[in-house]
Amino acid sequence: MRFPVLKDQALNLQVWFLALLAGYAVLELSFNHRLLELAGDLQLTATPDQLHDIELWGRVVSGLGLALLLMRWLDRFFKSRAVLLVLCCALGLVTMWHLQKAVVDTIVSRADQQDLMMSWRSQLSVQEALNGRMALRGETLLSSPAPADIRPIMSALWASSVAGLSPDDLESDSGAAQLMGGFFAPQITPQQLSAAYRKTVMTPVVLGASLLFGLLNLCQFFAGCVALVLTLTRHDVLLQRCKSWLLPSLTALCLGLSWWPGNVWTTSPAYQRVASPALWADKPYLAPFVEWSVRAEPAWADSVAWVHSALLQDFEFTMPFRHILGR
C-alpha cells in the first residue's frame, strides 16, 4: 500500500509535528514529577540552586508548550513551516519566561512579614498535615493519614494552599509540632524566610502552567493521531465530520477529568471552608494556580512518575548556565 504524500496537508496531519507533541509530553510530565520531588522534600534539603534551576526549567517547558499551541493557531498565516517553528518557539519562550517571572516576582514583592512567617511555619507543618493531625481554624483537614496517591502533591503544595492564612490558624494536635512552633522554634534568617516564600509561590505557578500546557498539547497529539489514521485509511468523509469537534471534545474531557474528581484534601472542610476562600481573598493572583494544581496533579501522579523514571531516567533538570540566565 502506498501512503499519500502529506507534506501539503494540515499541520496536525504532519508526522514531524506529532513527534514534537509526543516529545514535549514526555518532557513536561517528567518535569512535573521532578518539581514535585523538590518542592515536596520533607527534609527541606533542596538547595537554592536546585530550586532556581527548576524555576528556570519551568519557564522553558511552559514556553515550548505555548509554542506548540501557537504553531497550530498561526499555521495558516505562514507559507514556510520552518519559519513558523522558529518564530513560535521564540515567541513562546520569551512570553512564558517573562510572564512566569513577573507573576512570581510580583507576588513575592508584595509579601509582608506575616506572609514570610506563614510560609516557613506551613512548610515545617507538612508532615503533621500528611499524618492527619492538622486543623485550620477548627475545621478538620484529614481524619486519617493522607492516602498514597495525594501525598507527593500535598507535600509540594501544602504551604501554597494555606498561604492566605496566618500562623495562628494552623492547629496541630501534635506535641512536637507545638514545641517547634513555640519556645523551641528554630532561628530563621531573613534570607531563609524569603527563599521559603519564593518556593511557596513558585511551585504552584510553575507546576500549574506546565501541566496545563502539557494537557492541551496531549489533546493536540491524540486528535492529530486520529485525524492522521483517518486520512491514511482514506476515510475522508468521516474526517470532515469529526475534525471540527474532535479536538475541543478531547480537551474538554481531559480538563474535566483533571478538575472534577477531587480528592480527600480538596473536599475536606478545612480546605473548602478555610484555606481556599482565604487564598482567593488574600492572594488572588496565586489562587488560580493553586486551585488548578491541587485538583489536577493527583489525576496524573502515576503517569508523571513513570515517565520521569522510565523514559527520562530521573533527569534532574539542572541549568548549566544558571549564572548567565539569572533570575
Tens digits of per-residue pLDDT, 250-307?
Answer: 999 999 988 887 789 999 999 999 999 999 999 999 999 999 999 998 888 888 888 8
Return the pLDDT at 313.
86
**Which run of H or of E encompasses 50?**
helix 48-74
The model carries a pTM of 0.88
DSSP state of 162: T
Return the pLDDT at 222.
94
Return the pLDDT at 233.
86
Positions of the chain with pLDDT under 70: 1-8, 42-45, 173-187, 320-327
Q: How far apart are CA 260 and CA 292, in angstroms?
A: 10
Return the pLDDT at 243.
79
Residue 206 lies in a domain: yes
How many domains does the chain contain in total? 1
Residue 300 lies in a domain: yes
Residue 6 lies in a domain: no
Greatest Cα pair distance, the chain, in angstroms, is 78
Residue 1 lies in a domain: no
**Which run of H or of E encompasses 164?**
none
Residue 3 lies in a domain: no
Return the pLDDT at 178.
47
Residues 69-108 have pLDDT tens digits of: 999 999 989 889 999 999 999 999 999 999 999 999 999 9
Residue 79 lies in a domain: yes
Give the sign of the dihedral formed by CA 306, CA 311, CA 314, CA 319: negative
Residue 143 lies in a domain: yes
Q: Which domain holds residue 77?
A: 11-325
Residue 110 lies in a domain: yes
Taking Cα atoms as reference points, which of 203, 249, 283, 175 lies closest to residue 32?
203
- 26 C-beta neighbours (distance < 10 Å), count: 15
Return the pLDDT at 291.
95
Return the pLDDT at 326.
54
Q: How far apart are CA 221 and CA 276, in angstroms?
A: 34
Q: How far apart are CA 282 and CA 317, in angstroms?
A: 32
Contact 317, 54 (CB under 8 A): yes
